[in-house]
Amino acid sequence: MDQALDHGRMASQRPGYPVDPTRLLRRLYKARYLLVLSLVIGGGLGILLSRFAFPPSYLSSVTVRFDGMPALPGLPPPTPVAVSAYADGVFAEPVLRRVQRELGDEVPATLHGMTAAITRTSDPQSGAIRAEVRARSPESARNFAAALGESFIEYQLEQQRARLNEAHRRLGEQLELAREGHRRARAAWDQFRERHGIDSIESEQGRLASAAELRTQAILAQNEVNALEERVIRLKREIARTPKLSVSQHSRTSPEAIRLAEAEAELALKEATLTPAHPEIAALKRQVQTLRLRIANGLDEPVTTQLYGPNSERSTLALALAEAESALALQKGRAEGLRKHADEATERVAAFSAIEGQAVVMLSNLEVQRDLESRLDAERARIAAAILKPEAGFTVVKPAHLPESAEGSKKATILRLVSPFLAFALVALVLLFLEVRDLKIRTANELAFWTGAPVIASSTWPGEPGGLEELIESLDDYLPYARGKFLLVGASPWDASLAEAIAHKIESSYLLPAQDPSTSSIEKHAEEETALAKPIRSPMRVSSWGGATEGPSIRRASRLADRVIVIVSSGTTTIFEAMHIRRRIGRDVGVGFILVNVPLGDVVLGDRVGELAEFFCVR
């Protein structure tokens, strides 16, 4: 045998298939009615599961509008630009808790579930805030939206009441300080008047009226400057604390669901191009099953995605800061002018009388403290009146409505579409598993693949009478021209007896003895007709092995032969046994196989596999 030829054969690709695809298709074809039934049952189950797993949701909405709030002392004036900041109150915990108390089982039991069921949008131009809610019934959706709108307005009312209480407290502290300053100014003036013998304030007001009025205005202007400076400092501090960006869009996604959809799409693509038993398809199916189990067991951790945009509250504070700085600059100029005029008037009064100058200063301070006390008392009274009847600044412009139809669910649609194919695939997998679970070799393609050697013939013999003759006749294109010594062995003791029968049949068919001169003319004529169909004598020598199917003796016998033909019965040899046949007989090359006892339905799958011309050539 040519060694180069053998090495080339070893390097070539294995013939056949690990599992004969035609065998699998035939198994599926036999169960075609069951597969069609699985599609119908899968479709029905998909419809039922979609209703339970993804119940219909109904969408309702409520719209409220920010109408503004009255300007009150101690509170910054709100603007419609800040409506985005107010809109975040839809997700505030007090709002959601109040809705849970009112509706009970009609809304999700957790705050996370309620937040996921609410979608809010805001329009800073019109001041409108729209909240969309989802529920499992039309009435629940309408009640959810209505309760959410009422709770939001009530929450804003409580927030305004808290701001008013804080302003009332601060004004009370300022009023106490102003009263103390007024009392001290009054006591100082009374002491001055008694020490210098002034009868009454009215006797001095005629001469000091102008200076006192100017001084009062200058002090008031300076107080306004101080208040504006404090406001500018406070706005700058709030701007520094306020982030430049705020959440403009909030969404939640499921990585496990995305990976599941990608794996299912890839599985569908692979199933369209590869065989069902391909390793990539099996791996993808295991990945899809694992992801479904993770999602079903609640192991999926949703990912929250937040998109940031410019912070509207910071813009509002910046606008207020610019206005306050402009007012501060204007007020500083006015205060400086009044101070100069008041200083000039004070100097004139001081030049006229040292006592009158001191009186002007003390009288002006008294008037300022008295006016400050009166103003703070009036502002505090306004805040107290606003606390008794606070205004939320929001009104419902579009009440909640009763939804007419359920909102479509993409997941339910996908489940209804995929479930028939999943049922079909499951039944097909079970059928295929039942077909190959015993790991027995049944066709020539499978035997050639797992042994790595050609299958030179396949036959239904001995299960079908007359199959042996057909087996030998199927080798008419090779056996008459084969050369060398051929050894037939069996893969099992039973196959060894079949190998002996096949060897005997080959000898009787191709290796004819020399003619006897005493043969009659009729017999000679018959032999001449036979010689026209087959060679008189083939140069090949055929023998069978009747000893043990493994061990040193069979390996020695196989090494002495030019070719070894192994007889294997269909359905009796596993793939592991087939992989070790060549090692068991001690041959890596020059080994061929004959598959016998093949079921009639499997004969049509191919009776030869591999390079037969190379196998029958002379070594």
458 within some domain: yes
**368 shares a domain with 240:** yes
Contacts of 281 (CB under 8 A, 6+ apart): 267, 270, 271, 274, 275
**612 shares a domain with 525:** yes
In three-state secondary structure terms, 464 is coil
| pTM for the structure as a whole | 0.44
pLDDT of residue 482: 77
Domain count within the chain:
4
Cβ(595)–Cβ(609) below 8 Å: no
pLDDT greater than 80 at residue 466? no
- For residue 440, the 8-state DSSP code is B
pLDDT of residue 245: 63
Q: What is the mean pLDDT of residues 502-514?
A: 68
List pLDDT tens digits, range 339-369: 887 777 676 555 445 666 677 677 788 888 8
If phi over 0 gives left and psi between -120 and 50 gives alpha, with beta otherwise, what is residue 104?
left
List pLDDT tens digits, range 535-575: 444 567 888 887 777 778 888 888 888 889 998 988 888 88
Q: CA nearest 346: which of 362, 363, 360?
A: 360
Mean pLDDT over the full length of the chain? 77
pLDDT greater than 60 at residue 438? yes
427 within some domain: yes
**387 shares a domain with 513:** no
Q: What is the mean pLDDT of residues 40-45?
A: 86
d(CA 485, CA 502): 15
H/E stretch holding 569 reads strand 563-569
**283 shares a domain with 361:** no
Cβ(94)–Cβ(153) below 8 Å: no
pLDDT of residue 351: 46
pLDDT of residue 357: 65
**587 shares a domain with 516:** yes
403 within some domain: no
**506 shares a domain with 587:** yes
pLDDT of residue 3: 41
Burial of 62 (0-12, 13-18, 19+ CB in 10 A): buried
Give just the sign of the alpha carbon dihedral 333, 339, 344, 345: positive
pLDDT band at 518 (very low <50, low <70, confident <90, very high): very low
Q: What is the mean pLDDT of residues 18-22?
A: 85
Max avg pLDDT among 237-246, 250-259, 348-357, 414-423: 414-423
227 within some domain: yes
404 within some domain: no
pLDDT band at 100 (very low <50, low <70, confident <90, very high): confident
**519 shares a domain with 372:** no
**428 shares a domain with 536:** no
**223 shares a domain with 263:** no
What would the two tokens of residue 410 be?
């993409």
362 within some domain: yes
β-sheet with 128-135: strand ranges across: 118-123, 128-135, 58-66, 394-398
pLDDT greater than 50 at residue 375? yes
- Listed as own residue / partner, the contacts of 21-27 with beta carbons closer than 8 Å and 24 or more positions apart are 21/275, 22/443, 22/605, 22/606, 23/435, 23/442, 23/443, 23/446, 23/602, 23/605, 24/275, 24/276, 24/277, 24/432, 24/435, 24/436, 26/601, 26/605, 27/431, 27/432, 27/435
Look up the CATH number of the domain holding residue 12.
3.40.50
pLDDT band at 429 (very low <50, low <70, confident <90, very high): very high
Q: CA nearest 60: which of 182, 150, 145?
A: 145
List pLDDT tens digits, range 135-181: 888 888 888 888 888 888 888 888 888 888 888 888 888 888 888 88
pLDDT of residue 27: 85
pLDDT of residue 11: 38
pLDDT band at 198 (very low <50, low <70, confident <90, very high): low
**68 shares a domain with 193:** yes
405 within some domain: no
pLDDT greater than 60 at residue 108? yes
Domain termination residue (choose one: 346, 372, 398): 398
7 within some domain: yes
Q: Where are the beta strands (DSSP E) in 17-138?
A: 58-66, 118-123, 128-135
Percent of the chain residues past pLDDT 90, beyond the cut = 1
**432 shares a domain with 294:** no
**455 shares a domain with 317:** no
pLDDT band at 253 (very low <50, low <70, confident <90, very high): low
Full residue range of the structural domain in which residue 260 is found = 255-301
pLDDT of residue 534: 45
Cβ(64)–Cβ(397) below 8 Å: yes
pLDDT greater than 60 at residue 80? no
